[in-house]
Each structure stands twice: as structure tokens, then as C-alpha cells.
């Protein structure tokens, strides 16, 4: 990607759908969030009632009104890489098929995951004190980098380690796409590598070796036959999944492979810990060399907490489970009840036609505004 030298500027006072498009237009694939973080920081520094802290490409902006309740609104700045196929619409810059910016559907990388949510955060921050008004709760806005990559790089995780005292609160909302419906908790995620070992030989004399790729066939067969569970956790039903997601093996077209690695991802319900999830996978793949490479705990929905219940009552609708892993789990580890609530359909996240409806972004802003500033 060509490096940009001119600083980007965001107008937080424009229509929130147009703001979403402007945010999409600032390239921010994981690891290259710096320019967008600069723009967010510059825009927030124009709001004198907010206390700001920046750590790398993550930003915390807080009110300090002495309210009895503090809520956290959080969202990540990064996206997955841009589409590589021709005629993809979910790319950068953004695109309005209507030909009228602000009307209809907005296409672009991150439109769903989660530039619309970030735009809502920024618009809310700009409106909190309009006309002398004040929110009836203290608010902490969190914008962070490296969400779309391995957990060890997470900007939110870094903020927790370095500035955890600034992330206290009674309730947290992660503005991940939920189609404007409250989604409680999230599944956990854990990754493994299952390795099979053979003996290299010339493929013309295959009987002199042992094929490690063939030896991995039972691993794939067990995974293919596995029936994932649906688990009820605090009244919400979480669907699990266990899949091979990558396979590597072989060195040349005329060599019997002596090593094969199957990468496995298990999305598990929040009724179990990562260690319990690991034990489940090890039992399924008993007899194979399985190594855990990455994991992140899930989060129970916590919808019975008074703060969560009041939010659900305010925005309406019937809460649903979050099947994917999100950073509500990090807030849950801090003892803060958290839900997912944002514009856009999560099924469109990362797709080549990623898009969000302008009115969905506006409705999300309206719902949060009416809750924070009744």
C-alpha cells in the first residue's frame, strides 16, 4: 500500500453515514492503523470535555463528570486485508451505488466490521455536550488496533495491561456488527496444530518412505464426522464449530512428504474454559500429536446484570448470542458486563461485497444517543 503523508481529517459533525465512508477511505489494514488513529485522535482532541490517552495506535477518551455509573463504548480501527478479486466492492475507497453519498448502501472494506460502529462512537463523542447538555452516565470511548489478527497483538489487550485503571466501568458495549440487535457474550476460540510425521523418499520409489499427508487423513475424517453442539448458556443458545482451516505438507512434486500439519480452529460455547475446550479436542484427536497455538476465552451473556438489562430495555428487541469471538470477552475478564451492539450484518464481515446500509448506522446512533442522553 502506498504510504500517505498528508494527515487525514474527520468531520465528526457530518451525517454519521458520510462519516462512516470517510473512515473507510483511510486505509487501516491490521498493522497499518496509524493514519486512522491519527485522524481519530485529532478529531477527539477538539472536544475539551474529554480526557485523552494514546498508546500506540489505540486511544482512550473519557468524560469525568462524577456520575454514579460509567459505560464503555469500544471499537477496533483495523480491517482484514483488502479483497484481491477484480470487481470487488468491499474495498478502499468506499462506494455508494446510489450515486448519492449518504443514500442507500455503502460498500467498502470495514463497512460492516466495523467502521460504522466506529463512526457511531465518534459522532456520539462529538454530541455529548451539545447545547450545554450532558450525558447521565460517564462515558469511556475506546478505539484500538490489531483486533483482526492473533490475540497477542491486540491493542485492547495492550490497553488493559498498560492502562487498566482507565478501563473500569459498570457496563461495556462493543460496537461490532449485530444488525442493531443486542448480542450477549461470545463464543471462545482456540487453535491447534495436529502434526503427522512420515519418511521422505523419491515418489518413484514411494515404498521406501512413509507419506505424512496420507497419515493426516484420519484427522480430517474425524473432523468431518464431528457433530458440533448447540449449548444453552444463561438462556442464549451458542452454536459451536470445529474445523480444519489450513493444511501444510510436502516439499517437492517428486518427494514423499515426511511432515504434514493440519491447523484446527474450535469455536466453543462460553460454558467452558479454553483448557476445557482443549481437553475436548484432544479427546477427539486421541493418538495424534496436537499442540495448542492460540486461544481466547468466551464470555457469558450477563444480560441479568442491571446495567445490561436497562440497555436491552432501552434499545428493544430480543437479545441473541454472539457466535464469533469478540472483545466482550476481555471486558468480561475485567468483571465488566458487556454486550455487542452495532450497525451492519455480521455475515457480511470480511466478504468481498462488504457493505452497510446508511440508515442502519443512523439508527444505531439514534438508539445509543437516546440511551445516553434521555
Cell of 147: 483486533
Judged by DSSP in three states, 261 sits in strand
Q: One of 57, 147, 170, 183 is an active-site residue; which one? A: 147
Q: Determine which one of 22, 33, 38, 78 is catalytic.
A: 78
Q: Identify which of 355, 371, 358, 24 has the alpha carbon closest to the alpha carbon of residue 182.
A: 371
Whole-number Cα distances in Å, 297 to 268, 274, 277, 333: 9, 6, 10, 9
Determine whether 237 is an active site residue.
no
Instruction: Give 287: exposed, middle or buried? Use CB within 10 Å, 0-12, 13-18, 19+.
Output: exposed
- Count the neighbouring beta carbons within 10 Å of the beta carbon of residue 314: 14
Task: Indicate the helix (H) or strand (E) that contains 268.
Answer: strand 259-268
Q: Are strands 201-202 and 255-256 parallel, antiparallel or unpaired?
A: antiparallel
**Structure-block grid coordinates of residue 180:** 442493531
The answer, yes or no, to whether the previous bond of 85 is cis (omega within 30 of 0) is no
Residue 334, phi-psi category: left (phi > 0), alpha (psi -120 to 50), beta (remainder): alpha
Active centre residues (catalytic)? 78, 147
Amino acid at each position: 500500500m502506498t504510504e500517505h503523508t498528508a494527515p487525514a481529517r474527520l468531520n465528526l459533525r457530518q451525517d454519521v453515514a458520510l462519516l462512516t465512508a470517510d473512515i473507510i477511505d483511510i486505509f487501516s489494514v491490521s498493522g497499518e492503523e496509524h493514519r486512522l488513529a491519527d485522524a481519530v485522535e485529532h478529531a477527539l482532541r477538539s472536544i475539551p470535555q474529554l480526557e485523552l490517552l494514546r498508546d500506540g495506535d489505540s486511544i482512550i477518551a473519557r468524560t469525568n463528570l462524577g456520575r454514579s455509573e460509567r459505560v464503555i463504548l469500544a471499537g477496533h480501527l483495523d480491517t482484514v486485508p483488502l479483497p484481491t478479486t477484480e470487481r470487488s466492492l468491499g474495498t478502499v475507497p468506499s462506494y455508494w451505488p446510489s450515486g448519492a453519498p449518504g443514500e442507500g448502501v455503502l460498500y467498502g472494506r470495514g463497512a460492516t466490521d466495523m467502521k460504522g460502529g466506529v463512526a457511531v462512537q465518534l459522532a456520539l463523542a462529538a454530541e455529548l455536550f451539545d447545547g450545554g447538555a450532558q450525558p447521565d452516565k460517564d462515558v469511556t470511548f475506546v478505539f484500538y488496533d490489531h483486533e483482526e489478527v492473533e490475540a497477542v497483538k491486540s491493542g485492547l489487550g495492550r490497553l488493559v495491561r498498560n492502562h487498566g485503571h482507565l478501563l473500569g466501568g459498570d457496563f461495556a458495549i462493543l460496537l461490532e456488527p449485530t444488525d442493531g440487535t443486542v448480542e450477549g457474550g461470545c463464543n471462545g476460540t482456540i487453535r491447534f496444530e495436529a502434526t503427522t510425521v512420515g519418511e521422505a523418499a523419491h515418489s518413484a520409489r514411494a515404498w521406501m518412505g512413509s507419506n505424512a499427508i496420507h497419515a493426516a487423513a484420519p484427522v480430517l475424517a474425524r473432523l468431518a464426522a464431528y457433530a458440533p453442539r448447540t449449548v444453552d448458556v444463561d438462556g442464549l443458545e451458542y452454536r459451536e464449530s470445529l474445523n480444519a482451516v489450513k493444511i501444510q505438507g510436502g516439499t517437492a512434486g517428486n518427494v514423499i512428504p515426511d511432515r504434514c500439519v493440519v491447523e484446527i480452529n474450535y469455536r466453543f460455547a462460553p460454558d467452558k474454559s479454553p483448557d476445557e475446550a482443549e481437553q475436548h479436542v484432544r479427546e477427539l484427536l486421541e493418538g495424534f500429536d496436537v499442540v495448542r497455538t492460540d486461544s481466547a476465552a468466551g464470555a457469558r451473556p450477563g444480560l441479568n446484570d442491571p446495567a445490561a438489562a436497562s440497555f436491552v430495555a432501552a434499545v428493544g428487541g430480543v437479545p441473541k448470542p454472539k457466535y464469533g469471538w469478540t472483545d466482550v470477552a476481555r471486558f468480561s475478564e475485567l468483571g465488566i458486563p458487556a454486550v455487542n451492539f452495532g450497525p451492519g450484518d455480521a455475515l457480511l464481515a470480511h466478504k468481498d461485497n462488504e457493505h452497510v446500509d446508511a440508515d442502519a448506522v443512523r439508527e444505531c446512533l439514534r438508539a445509543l444517543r437516546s440511551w445516553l442522553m434521555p
